[in-house]
Structure 1
């Protein structure tokens, strides 16, 4: 590990990118925990200063996937949002997932307890507010819920144990590391389709090349709310679509679909996130959140070639919500994960 540290840690001008083979060695040492905590921390900081290359990221993803449990369920779409959570926006991904599942598109959600640098609310926090606590979420239970509903939730530190062991170092550093990107590509559901959230459009090209190397059939990089993979409903969203080995910038404007809606001010807590999710799936609550779920579902259905256009996806999602099927799947999913019988 020391010889690799010397290459990436020579400072902004002297550092060089590791080759793919060298990056594999570093990833194996870090995720296999054969490197010392000091070496791991030094590597993370050096890479943060240098900025990770596509080859380095690909190597970390490859090794991380080797250490992860990955399901053989029917393949669908992976929704890769920020593991450091959210502070000031609605996590529409949860409700969106059940609309997609109702349309026959399996969904994989994944995350962990909050991480630096943002320390925001995560999926795990919202699920805990629903009465679904991570310690009880065995892989078997999550897989059973996915079989019955089409929505798989993978708690990353359960499905990929090295991430749990590296948490103390990441918390002590308190900043973004190469794992903040790599962990979102774990692909627990072997998904051919991907939505991936980013903070800055400056990473579009680099991540686009990485996604091509990883072999996804289609993907959409989204510069969404708080770095999420969720489209805004009150203004246009920059996205980068990857398909057939090519990437193109696309601006998705809710106004062009008649959905542009001001967002209400909400003091978001995990309990409030859970409450609004339930309201949307019941066809109730503020229309901004309903429209946000419909637009995100429609774009994903189009990405996965389940509909011919975003407009068709909007009609499909609206009809599904009115039918009550997404809500039924949501209630069944909760019942399975709480290991409770579903009340009819």
Structure 2
């Protein structure tokens, strides 16, 4: 048992009258001790549920991010005229609405705006459709790549993916606790603003509950992050909704967030989100979008692409962004980006296999 961790647990788990928030340094220490297994299972489980009941502060999220920065992976800087957009989406996936973020990533990278994503497999508490499965359905298998290989793909295509089960295995133990507890701990909030990129980054994070936005602002401010976009998106993702006005907060030079309210109706879109069927159905729908075919999912793709083209500085406003996105889909540029990504991922993976076979043959020869 860790006496130090017990003291941190007592602070967050002592109830409304005597409980205390952790300092940034204490939150970093607690996170580090959980990831490294220095706290006992009983202590870790108790901490996660107590911290959820107490609710995290922005300062605590900043400390948790400090620990992730210290122990976790980072894609290294690439040459780019704009900050790399790092999309933070819920790790436990989607269950009700069709995700569009992989299409958004392909379109942005096609116009020279690099994108980094991160996530894992089907995870608690929702066990929804994760990014990895969507990408794999499109022919891009991120799960077999080492971090160095993912870096090579990122440098060549402008799309990076940090697959946490492989690239950050220290987090795997935390998922076992999430499953047993059946509730999202504050880690689930922190992950949305985690930045596994070492260069100039623009953090894009989704959220559900309004208080989360304030926590994000405090945490990012403490960590010196000046470029971010916070979206009250579909199922807590960065995908803009079509069934309601999109509420978005933008970082600005002043201490106050710049608020943007975007109504789909004002831009000619019907107020309807596309329901999520099977992954196979979604992949077919995405392929239709990439082919330039008209559909409900294409409307969602244009709505989101228009915003992110504008937000990245690639277009002057939403309307020109939407028009540019429609042109990119119809011309086949976005579909070509997917084919490039597939080829590069496969080439990098094959090169690694060839190297392993060569090393294995050399070892056998040396031992014979």
Superposition TM-score, scaled by structure 1 size: 0.91
In the TM superposition, what whole-angstrom CA distance separates every residue of 1:156-195 from its partner, at most 9, and x where no partner exists? 2222221123222222112101211222333122452122
What are the residue-to-residue correspondences of 1:278-289 with 2, within 5 Å? 278-286=287-295, 288-289=296-297
After TM superposition, give the deviation of residue 133 of structure 1 in Å. Answer: 4.5
Out of 228, 234, 239, the residue aligned to residue 219 of structure 1 is 228
Segments ≥4 residues shifted beyond 6 Å = none
CA-CA distance at 1:69 after TM superposition:
1.5
- Corresponding position of 1:125: 133
What is the deviation of 1:132?
4.5
Q: Quote the offset at 1:131 in angstroms.
A: 4.9
Highest relative contact order (Cα 8 Å, sep 6+), 1 or 2? 1
Alpha-carbon offset, residue 134 of structure 1? 5.2
Equivalence for 2:123:
115
Q: Over the residues paired in the alignment, what is the CA RMSD in angstroms?
A: 2.0
Select 2:154's aligned residue among 146, 159, 165: 146
CA contact (8 A) 2:88 2:194 kept: no
Which residue number in structure 2 is paired with residue 42 of structure 1?
A: 46
Instruction: Map 1:169-188 to 2 at 5 A.
Output: 169-188=177-196
**Aligned residue number for residue 336 of structure 2:** 328
Task: Name 1:5's counterpart in structure 2.
Answer: 9
Equivalent position SS for 1:120: coil
- Kindly state the Cα deviation for residue 49 of structure 1 after the two structures are TM-superposed: 0.7
SS of the residue 2:257 aligns to: strand
- Distance in 1 (CA, whole Å) between partners of 2:105 and 2:49 is 35
2: CA distance, partners of 1:292 / 1:213: 34
CA distance in 2, matches of 1:20, 1:261: 42
Cα pair 1:29 1:35 within 8 Å, conserved: yes
List gaps (5 residues or longer) in structure 1. none
Q: Summarize deviations over 1:194-218 as a string: whole Å, max 9, x none.
A: 2211111232222222222233332
Residue 257, structure 1, aligned to residue 296, structure 2: no
Task: Indicate yes or no: 2:68 matched with 1:60.
Answer: no
Distance 1:175 1:114 in 2: 15
Alpha carbons of structure 1 residues 213 and 300: separation in structure 2 relative to 1, 3 Å? farther
* Native 8 Å contact 1:77 1:194 kept in 2: yes
Q: Work out whether 1:29 is the aligned partner of 2:33.
A: yes
**TM-score of the aligned structures, taking structure 2 as reference length:** 0.86
Larger radius of gyration between Structure 1 and Structure 2: 2
The 2-side partners of 1:238 and 1:329 are apart by: 30
Provide the residue aligned with 1:248 in structure 2: 258
